[in-house]
Amino acid sequence: MTSFPFNNKKVAGCKVISGRIAKKDNLILMKDSKEAGRVKISSMKKEKQEIVEAKTGEEFGVIFEPQLDFVKGDVLVSVAK
């Protein structure tokens, strides 16, 4: 995961390592294998197109709330509803 700015928010550039991440899922932000916070997706895009899900190997950008601090190498873990 890496970050870049967009409309005064931080976008997380992500790649799905295994499984999938869906816009409706709850996410856990992990730093150094420890939980740093829980977030919800407010926007999820792939190549400027809004998407609802990304699968293994796909890269996408995501804005989540609340806007927690994250850095390259942090991990988002999807917790399906």
Where do the structural domains in the chain lie, given as residue ranges? 2-79
Interatomic CA distance for residues 66 and 68, integer angstroms: 6
Which CATH class name applies to 2-79?
mainly beta
Question: What is the model's pTM?
Answer: 0.83
Residue-wise pLDDT for 34-62, tens only, equals: 999 999 999 999 998 999 999 999 999 99
Q: Which residues pair with 27 in a beta bridge?
A: 39, 78
Residue-wise pLDDT for 12-39, tens only, equals: 999 999 999 999 999 999 999 999 999 9
Answer whether residue 5 shows pLDDT above 80: no
Is the omega angle on the peptide bond into residue 66 within 30 degrees of 0, that is, cis?
yes
Question: What does the pLDDT read at residue 20?
Answer: 94
